[in-house]
Amino acid sequence: MNELNFDSGCIYDIAVIGAGPSGSNFSRLVDSVKYKIVLIDGENEENKKPCGGLLSPDAQDIMARYNITLPSDILVSPQIFSVRTIDLESGLIRHYRRSYINMDRYKFDRFLLGMVPQSVSRIEGRCISISQEDKYYLLEIKGRERISVKIKAKNIVGADGASSIVRRTFFKKSTIQRYTAVQQWFYSADTNPFYSCIFDSSTSESCSWVFFKNGFLVFGGAFKPSGCRIAFEEQKRKLINMGIIPGNIENSLVRTEACSVLRPHLFKGFCPGKNGVYLLGEAAGFISPSSLEGISSALLSSEKLADAFNSGKENLIYRKYKSGTLYLMGKLKLKCIKRPFMYNRKLRTIIMKTGILSINIKESAVK
């Protein structure tokens, strides 16, 4: 196991599980002089998080507020100014203005991790169990060489995504809709790369996507866990039949990846934590129920929890964090209300037929 400034004999004030955007941003913003903090990092080159790697306008606004700019090596080609929305059932296709930064998600995560101060201890490994021992929490962490260590902490911050061990351990009764995201990467020489959002209620009650990254075509989608691979392959077949992706795409397959993804509902699914255990980002249910975008919520929720810890009133941390995320929860609940207009087949067809807010694409006269 690789560790940096790690002391197995001490009791940490805060153990942060997960070094993605929420865990790294919290560890960057919380007062690491006042609190003794350990950050558990389970991501590495061989264990990357499957993700579209698109930085939304909301996330861009938060980064701008932090006065953070992205280095060029994080960006990938092409950059995106619109999304092609495809309804596989009706055959309707519309283009809508969207400005995303197309990036390498793993490099982005490592970039944010690099901004965490040296005063925060780090362990490279995966948390495999959490239990309560007197006034403390006992965490068992397994490293790359299968060596296990145990640490104690007064507070736990679960920044470990949809499959959060923190949420599963302490908040089993807080239910939330789960999907399995399946994604495949293919070599591609396409000279007109695009970003598409795909709807097909016969195979998924969520959305799918096609985009390009530095010479790769990526197709993925979120499906019900039962039969997810069958539904994924059926959607792919439909896209091939429509000519959206090439018919010989299977010959250039590079890799297949999958992970869990959550979707909150209007009245359930959000869980900020309690009693010294806090959840950030997707682990808390803070993810868009319409687009499944989660980086902006990860950044914002981690900022609010850091503010709560930095307030100096430890008995009010939970109350301050919950009140600090009310705006975020309200915004996500509005997207729960918006969701039927995207995912209900009849409503979606009506909206797409009107062409409201869509872009009229003008083909070049030069072929």
Q: Tens digits of per-residue pLDDT, 76-102?
A: 999 999 999 999 999 999 999 999 999
What's residue 149's pLDDT? Answer: 87
Q: Are 88 and 348 in contact (CB under 8 A)?
A: no
Q: Per-residue pLDDT for 2 more than 50? A: no
Distance in angstroms (rounded) separating the CA atoms of residues 300 and 328: 8
Helices (H), 132-193: 165-170
- Indicate the CATH number of 54-104+176-263+341-359 among 3.30.9.10, 3.90.550.10, 3.40.920.10, 1.10.357.10: 3.30.9.10
Average pLDDT over residues 57-72: 96
| DSSP-derived 3-state class of residue 75 | strand
Q: φ and ψ at 64, to 5 degrees? A: -65, -40
Residue in 100, 85, 115 with CA at minimum distance from that of residue 51 = 100
Distance in angstroms (rounded) separating the CA atoms of residues 154 and 175: 26
How long is the chain?
Answer: 367
**Domain residue limits, the chain:** 3-49+107-175+267-338, 54-104+176-263+341-359
Q: Are 210 and 195 in contact (CB under 8 A)?
A: yes
Q: Which residue has the higher pLDDT, 4 or 49?
A: 49
Q: Per-residue pLDDT for 364 more than 70? A: no
Average pLDDT over residues 151-175: 95
Average pLDDT over residues 169-192: 91
Tens-digit pLDDT profile for residues 254-289: 999 999 999 999 889 999 999 899 999 999 999 999
Residues 6+ apart with CB under 8 A from 116: 24, 27, 28, 39, 122
Q: Per-residue pLDDT for 300 more than 90? A: yes
Whole-Å CA distances, 337 to 46, 53, 343, 344: 38, 26, 11, 12
Whole-Å CA distances, 367 to 62, 80, 226: 41, 22, 45
Please give the structure tokens belonging to residue 74.
Answer: 């994080």
Residues 6+ apart with CB under 8 A from 123: 1, 3, 6, 38, 39, 40, 41, 141, 143, 149, 151
The superfamily CATH assigns to domain 3-49+107-175+267-338 is FAD/NAD(P)-binding domain (3.50.50.60)
Distance in angstroms (rounded) separating the CA atoms of residues 9 and 7: 5
Site of tokens 């959060």: 164
| DSSP-derived 3-state class of residue 59 | helix
Site of tokens 């996500």: 332
What's residue 367's pLDDT? Answer: 46
Tens-digit pLDDT profile for residues 25-58: 999 999 999 999 999 998 877 777 778 899 999 9
Whole-Å CA distances, 279 to 103, 107, 189, 302: 26, 24, 42, 9
DSSP readout, 91-120?
--EEEEEEEEEEB-HHHHHHHHHTTS-TTS
Mean predicted lDDT score pLDDT of the chain:
92
| DSSP-derived 3-state class of residue 318 | helix
Q: Are 223 and 179 in contact (CB under 8 A)?
A: yes
Tens-digit pLDDT profile for residues 316-361: 999 999 999 999 999 999 999 999 889 999 999 999 999 999 998 8
Average pLDDT over residues 7-26: 91
Residue 147 binned pLDDT confidence (cut-offs 50, 70, 90): confident
Q: Per-residue pLDDT for 196 more than 60? A: yes
What's residue 361's pLDDT? Answer: 85
Report which secondary-structure segment, H or E, holds 55.
strand 54-55
Please give the structure tokens belonging to residue 300.
Answer: 């914002």
Distance in angstroms (rounded) separating the CA atoms of residues 309 and 273: 14
Partnered with residue 277 across adjacent β-strands are 156, 274
